[in-house]
Structure 1
Amino acid sequence: MTNSFIEFRNVSFRYGKDQPWVLKNVSFTIDSNEWVAVIGHNGSGKSTIAKLINGLLFPQEGEIIVDGLTVNEHTIWDVRKSVGMVFQNPDNQFVGTTVRDDVAFGLENRGVPREDMLKRIDVSLGQVGMSDYLLHEPHRLSGGQKQRVAIAGVLAISPKVIILDEATAMLDPKGRLEIMQTVSHLRQAEQLALITITHDLNEITRASRVIVMNKGEVWLESNPRDVFSRKEDLLQIGLDTPFVATFADELSRQGIKLGKQPLNHEELMDELWTYHSKM
């Protein structure tokens, strides 16, 4: 038996009998309250993993367990009570004419009483800093604001895990940073499991664990610092390394040996200060 919240057991998937396998014998676990980043180049299978967790797709081989339930046609509605997804393009998720209506949609589908619904809408919008946009039209919001509303809609249904499927891909760097800071805070405050699907290695620094996908298989499973240290290997499978990792590598070639692989600009500055203090 396992205490994992999500478990993939030898999962394989393809989009048709004559199509190549998108996932091949994939196995991993994700615990409750854990932040796991799933990264890989386009076509590596990472977004397919997200859709399989939520029952949007079903594997041809193997099985997927979510919160004790095997994901299949009979359990998907119970599974989706525990799993909330935010996609790359929030416009594809909007169904309401106002922000309030849109956040209410998932609650209405679950038969949540109106009084409770109104409270959940207020709380979830407050959590993402969008309380002042209650009656705004979602399509008139900025990209970052749209994603905040999409996250609020997910939070309102009280999931146990949130999946961000390339949710920041359409945002500028500032918008990406704001969204990642928001979900990081929410994960800690609400004790949620968080799965971020991305090809941007800059987004994995806060994750506790990283699953690197390549050609439909788990290529590496480790912590962010170890992943960053494998720059040449990452480049070979089509992943660009973040500026901080590249800069640290160049410093090493120039004879400046840092104590550890920095994950962000703050750690880089700390390492440089430590190095300078020892001179």
Structure 2
Amino acid sequence: MRKALIEFRNVSFRYEENSPWVLKNLSFTIYENEFVAIIGHNGSGKSTIAKLVNGLLFPQQGEILINGITVNEETIWAIRREIGMVFQNPDNQFVGATVQDDVAFGMENRGIPREEMIKRIEETLQAVRMSDYRLTEPHRLSGGQKQRIAIASVLAISPKVLILDEATAMLDPKGRKEIMDTVSELSEQRGLSLITITHDLAEVVQAERVIVMNQGEIWAEATPREIFSKRKELREIGLDVPFVAILAEELKQVDVKLTKEPLNQEELLEELWTLHSRT
């Protein structure tokens, strides 16, 4: 049985005293080595969750535990060593004159010895397939390349949790897929817990579990396949259903009997080929 790594216990949060609650009595658990997607429309509370996990915000009610330690002003610096975050705009995270300087920055702040820093720079740039850009100025990179460097910078501090907060929102579909494939592979190799926060359902197919937020509460919590089957309900709360799910729905309406809810194009083609082989 996997150990609980992040626990929200009856957490409520609002930005101002008399403003509406952004999160309402929220409880969930994320485990070691688990890949969880948190999705929801703009304003559903999903990005607030990321800020609470990292101690950028603190709840007014309830408590948050990271690796068994309650998040508060006394523990926040120790907890931030366990959490790595990649945001929507990587330009906001760059501080170094070159790629290697940027990857080194977080390690320098933690007092990691130089020899170990050099080793980690090489390992993390290789992991995100950016070794050839080591001496490049970050602003000369493409959007996808910048996100790879942002991920490398976070991985270099060896966190237990990697959080992507709308990290692929500025990329095209090909770039999004490449980044999600990369982080999924890295989380598996390094034993990281991975949390992706997004409004794009196409991004969640590799997750073990999906938490759907709506108006500050958990609307649903299930596997991606189970979530994709709720097409009508997802539209009603303002989420776009992936094209594959829409196509599967249309096929069912013309009496094409799919045996399972396809998560991607490959699964849909496999289903159709299987049906064709039987006829």
Q: Give the TM-score normalised by structure 1.
A: 0.98
Report deviation, 1:3.
Answer: 3.2
What SS does structure 2 have at the residue aligned with 1:220? strand
1:168 partnered with 2:168? yes
Partner of residue 31, structure 1: 31
Structural mapping, 1:124-143, within 5 Å: 124-143=124-143
Q: Per the alignment, in what secondary structure is the counterpart of residue 256 of structure 1?
A: coil
Structure 1: any 5+ residue segments left out of the alignment?
Answer: none
Aligned residue pairs, count: 278
Moved beyond 6 Å, runs of 4+: none
Inter-partner Cα distance in structure 2 for 1:29 and 1:11: 12
Q: Which amino acid aligns with 2:46?
A: K
CA distance in 2, matches of 1:35, 1:97: 33
Find the aligned partners of 2:97 and 2:17 in 1 and give their Cα distance.
Answer: 40
**RMSD of equivalent CA atoms:** 0.8
Q: What secondary structure does 1:5 align onto?
A: strand
Amino acid at match of 2:269: M
TM superposition shift of 1:249: 0.3
CA distance in 1, matches of 2:105, 2:84: 13
Tell me by how many angstroms 1:274 deviates: 1.3
Does 1:276 find its partner at 2:276? yes
Aligned to 1:65: 65
Deviates more, 1:195-204 or 1:269-278: 269-278
Q: 1:150 Cα deviation (Å)?
A: 0.3
Aligned to 1:101: 101
User: Could you give the per-residue CA deviations for residues 162-182 of structure 1, whole angstroms, max 9, x where no partner exists?
Assistant: 000000000011110110110
For 1:74 and 1:14, locate their aligned partners in 2 and report how far apart those are by CA, in whole Å. 21
Match of 2:151 in 1: 151
What is aligned with 1:186? 186
What is aligned with 1:248? 248
User: How far did 1:256 drift?
Assistant: 0.5
In 1, Cα distance between equivalents of 2:184 and 2:30: 17
- In structure 1, the partner of 2:226 is 226
Q: Secondary structure at the match of 1:18?
A: coil
What TM-score results when the alignment is normalised by the length of structure 2?
A: 0.98
Q: Deviations over 1:215-268 (max 9, x none)?
A: 000000000000000000000000011000000000000111100100001100
Secondary structure, aligned partner of 2:81: helix
Aligned-partner SS, 2:162: strand
Unaligned 5+ segments in structure 2 are: none
Matched residue SS, 1:251:
helix
Quote the offset at 1:19 in angstroms.
1.3
Matches within 5 A, 1:191-206: 191-206=191-206
Aligned to 2:261: 261
